[in-house]
Each structure stands twice: as structure tokens, then as C-alpha cells.
Structure 1
Amino acid sequence: MTTNFPLLTCVVCGTLFSIVPNITSADVIKTVSLAVLGAIVSFIVSLLLKHTIRKQRKEQKNY
């Protein structure tokens, strides 16, 4: 099976050019804010898990 790269390029570019004008600045702001919120929550959860695991290991060593 051979791939027709010019056709693939046209399809990808046509899809991108039809999607990009429909993206509003409100969508971009919403996406960025949700990404930041997700990163913050992920960081806090990882710190809490790290603290919890260290605490459990410390308690196991004391027994």
C-alpha cells in the first residue's frame, strides 16, 4: 500500500484551515485556564500522595 503524500497534505491543511477560523478567543482562554487549573490540582495531589506515602513508610519502620 502506497501513501499519496500530496493528497494527505491537502486533507490535513484543509482540515486545519477549516477549524482555525472557528476557534474564538473565549475558547482559547477557557482552554488555557482549565489547563492551568489541571496542572495545579495535579501538583497538589502529587505532593499530598508523596507526604502520605512517606508518613506510612516512617510508621512501618517504627514497628
Structure 2
Amino acid sequence: MEQNNLQLRSGIVGGTFLSTILNITLHDVLFTVVMVVIGAVVSFFVSWLLRKVFSSKKRM
């Protein structure tokens, strides 16, 4: 019975993975890359700005 459950789970996971991979287009990948770059840049500048704001308040 345990072997049957393993085969069923493997089939479900494999089928889901393959159907997802086949539906991803180059446009989706490029869009994701652009969003990651924008997010990283915004995160960096917000961190930098907050560090500047709070370090100047400590000096006062």
C-alpha cells in the first residue's frame, strides 16, 4: 500500500511540475527578471535612505 501512495504522489507532483514548466513563456521569465531587478534597487535605496536618516538622528 505504501508503494502505491508513493507512485500516486510522484505522478501528481511530476504532472504538476511538467504542466507548469510547459506553460512558462520567455515573456514571463523576462518580466520576472525585470521585477526582481526593480525590487532589489528599490530595497537597496530604501535601506540606504533609512540608514542615513537614523544615523543622523543619533549624532544629534
Give the TM bin, normalised by the shorter chain: 0.7 to 0.9
Deviation digits for residues 9-35 of structure 1 (CA, Å, limit 9, x no counterpart) = 221111010111111100100001101
The equivalent of 1:40 in structure 2 is 41
Q: Which residue in 1 is equivalent to 2:52?
A: 51
Gapped runs of 5+ residues in structure 2? none
Identity, in percent, stands at 40
Normalising to structure 1: TM-score of the pair? Answer: 0.81
Unaligned runs of 5+ in 1: none
Question: What is the SS of the residue equivalent to 1:23?
Answer: coil
**Amino acid in the other structure paired with 2:53:** T
Could you say what the CA RMSD is over the residues aligned between the two structures, in angstroms?
A: 1.3
Q: Give the count of matched residue pairs.
A: 57
